[in-house]
Amino acid sequence: MADFQEQQTPQAGFFQRVSELIPFDWELIRHASAEPVPYHIKKWWFCLGGTVLYLFVIQVATGIALTFYYVPSPDQAYESVAQITQDVRFGWYIRSLHKWAANCMIVAMFLHMLRVYFTGAYRHPRQLNWCIGFLLLGITLTFGFTGYSLVYEQLSFWGATVGANLAEAVPLIGPTIAYFLRGGPEVGENTLTRFYVLHIGLLPTLAFGLVFLHILLIRLHGVTELEFEGKEVPEKERHFRFWPDHATTELLIGVLLMYLLTIMALVFPAGLGEPANPTQTPEHIKPEWYFYFNFRLLKLTSLRVSVVFTMALGGICFLWPFIEQWLSRKFKVPDRVWVMLGVLAFLGFLVLTVWESFVQ
């Protein structure tokens, strides 16, 4: 931990007056934000976590904007989305940003997870943060699922139906979960309201809380200091300043993301399919791409098998740091085995996803 120096600047005087009004130990915050950053963070791979956070902020901002026009009722939902896309000024832009930021956020999240895994940053004493992160992944995927259903296109409706049916296949508690999600025995009016509440109320609250904990734990533990084989780094270069250096990096990523998302919105704006028709099932129902691996599994096995398998996989992933810890100690497993496992798992996910994308 580096020493800090108090500098008497106009800003300092102002802060002093504020701290009299709110008698909190502001030094703690200053201290936390002045934490020097290990030099390896300069590598761009390590910015993925921040990327996810930034995209989440964009989602909240554009999401709130969209809420001004969206109507969560089955007979008005589609029309309100059409209104946003075709009538409201810059409506297509805000909606497209929301759509692309969602997709990018999930991609960045997967990549972040990969980075954390392959740098072993989940290992003792940081196991809990991995669990929190994994919960955040689940929440984000649920965000995607519920959000897409709100558009109330054909695929929205039928995707929700399939999703709820999958939930039903969970052993023991499945039917209850499905009943809760649907708000009844079938996808109907209640479903849209529930998905809406999940999407703009419950999930954001959970997300805010977990994100706060996630970042808090990082600050508390300090960023993992890594050693790289064969690279001797001189002492004075081992750390660099959070402000302004790292902050500027974060700004850079922010603007870059805004630029790329805007381009995506211009070139591939969010479209509108056929409005939901509960009496007509479309030929090919597909979930969003981040569920393809699951969907492919479902088609290769059966409903029960794929759901149970997915749950088991989820459980293992959630508790991974503990599992790995136990296995490592028990069997003296060399590191490269874990690396290989990670590679295989990722490849498996990739193969299933790409496979599903080619199939009707």
Partner 1 sequence: MDLTVKRYIVAALSFLFLVSLLLVAYQESRRLRVERKLEPVVTALNKGCVDCHRTDSPALVMEWEHSQHAAYGVGCVDCHSANQGEVDAWLHEGEYVSALVTPLDCANCHEKEYREFSQSHHAKAGEILASLDNVLAEKAAGMPGNNADSVNGCWQCHGSIIRFERDEDGKTITSGKENRPVIDSDTWPNSGIGRLNPDGSKGSCHACHSRHAFEAKLSRSPENCGKCHMGPDHPQIEIYNESKHGIAFYANRDRMALDTQGDWVLGRDYSAAPTCATCHISSYMTPNGQYTANSHDVGERISWTLRPVISTLLNSVIYQDGFKEDYPHTRELPEIGDTIETIEKVVENEELVSRTVPRQVARIVTWEERRQVMKGACLNCHSDTYVDNFYQQFDDLVILYNEKFARPAKAIMDDLLADGVLNPNAPFEHHVQWVYFELWHHEGRRARHGASMMGPDYTHWHGMYEVSKHFYQEFLPAVVEVARTKGAAMGRKYEQRVEELLAQEEHQWVKGLSDQEAEELRQMYQQRYNE
Partner 2 sequence: MEIRGLGMDLKGKSSRRDWLAAVAMGVGLAVSYGVFALEGLLFLLPRQIKVRTRNLFAGKISQIQVGGVRQLFDLEGNAILLRRKAEREFQAFSSTCPHLGCKVHWEEEEQRYFCPCHRGVFDSDGVAVSGPPADGGQNLTQIPLEVDEDAGVVYIEVKDATRRRS
Q: Contact residues for partner 1 (CB under 8 A)?
A: 42, 89-90, 92-93, 244-245, 248-249, 251-252, 255-256, 258-259, 262-263, 265-266
Which option in partner 2, partner 1, none does residue 4 bind, with CB closer than 5 to 8 A by kind? partner 2
Which option in partner 1, partner 2, none does residue 5 bind, with CB closer than 5 to 8 A by kind? partner 2
Which option in partner 1, partner 2, none does residue 308 bind, with CB closer than 5 to 8 A by kind? none
- Residue type (1 letter), 128: L
Nearer to partner 1, 256 or 359 (CB): 256
Whole-angstrom distance, CA of residue 214 vs CA of residue 356: 33
Whole-angstrom distance, CA of residue 219 vs CA of residue 54: 18
Nearer to partner 2, 9 or 360 (CB): 9
What are the φ and ψ backbone dihedral angles of 251, each rounded to 5 degrees?
-60, -40
- Is the separation of the CB atoms in 200 and 63 below 8 Å? yes
Nearest-approach distance from CB 192 to partner 2, in angstroms: 19
Closest C-alpha among 180, 183, 195, 167 to residue 298: 167
Which option in partner 1, partner 2, none does residue 266 bind, with CB closer than 5 to 8 A by kind? partner 1
State the burial class of residue 155 (Cβ atoms within 10 Å of its Cβ: 0-12, 13-18, 19+): buried
Nearest-approach distance from CB 238 to partner 1, in angstroms: 17
Nearest-approach distance from CB 68 to partner 1, in angstroms: 17
Which H/E stretch holds residue 57?
A: helix 48-67
Nearest-approach distance from CB 71 to partner 2, in angstroms: 13
- Is the separation of the CB atoms in 307 and 166 below 8 Å? yes
Which option in partner 2, partner 1, none does residue 265 bind, with CB closer than 5 to 8 A by kind? partner 1
Which option in partner 2, partner 1, none does residue 249 bind, with CB closer than 5 to 8 A by kind? partner 1
- Is the separation of the CB atoms in 195 and 146 below 8 Å? yes
Nearest-approach distance from CB 16 to partner 2, in angstroms: 13
The tokens of 104 are what? 């990018």
Nearer to partner 2, 94 or 164 (CB): 94
Closest C-alpha among 257, 288, 292 to residue 270: 288
Nearest-approach distance from CB 17 to partner 1, in angstroms: 31
Nearer to partner 2, 69 or 355 (CB): 69
Q: Which residues bind partner 2 (CB under 8 A)?
A: 4-7, 9, 11-12, 30-31, 34, 61, 65, 68-69, 79, 82, 85-91, 93-94, 241, 243-244, 248, 251, 255, 258, 271-274
Whole-angstrom distance, CA of residue 102 vs CA of residue 98: 6
Nearer to partner 2, 91 or 144 (CB): 91
Nearer to partner 2, 91 or 287 (CB): 91
Angle subtended by helix axes 189-197 and 127-150, to nearest 10:
140
Nearer to partner 2, 262 or 328 (CB): 262
Which option in partner 2, partner 1, none does residue 354 bind, with CB closer than 5 to 8 A by kind? none
Nearest-approach distance from CB 199 to partner 2, in angstroms: 19
Nearest-approach distance from CB 244 to partner 2, in angstroms: 6
- Is the separation of the CB atoms in 99 and 58 below 8 Å? no
- Is the separation of the CB atoms in 318 and 134 below 8 Å? yes
Which option in partner 2, partner 1, none does residue 146 bind, with CB closer than 5 to 8 A by kind? none
Whole-angstrom distance, CA of residue 23 vs CA of residue 59: 33
Nearest-approach distance from CB 332 to partner 1, in angstroms: 41
- 37: helix, strand or coil: strand
Nearer to partner 1, 35 or 356 (CB): 35
- Is the separation of the CB atoms in 2 and 34 below 8 Å? yes
Angle subtended by helix axes 303-318 and 320-331, to nearest 10:
70
Nearer to partner 2, 251 or 350 (CB): 251
- Residue at token pair 């509440």: 197
Beta bridge partners of 153: 275
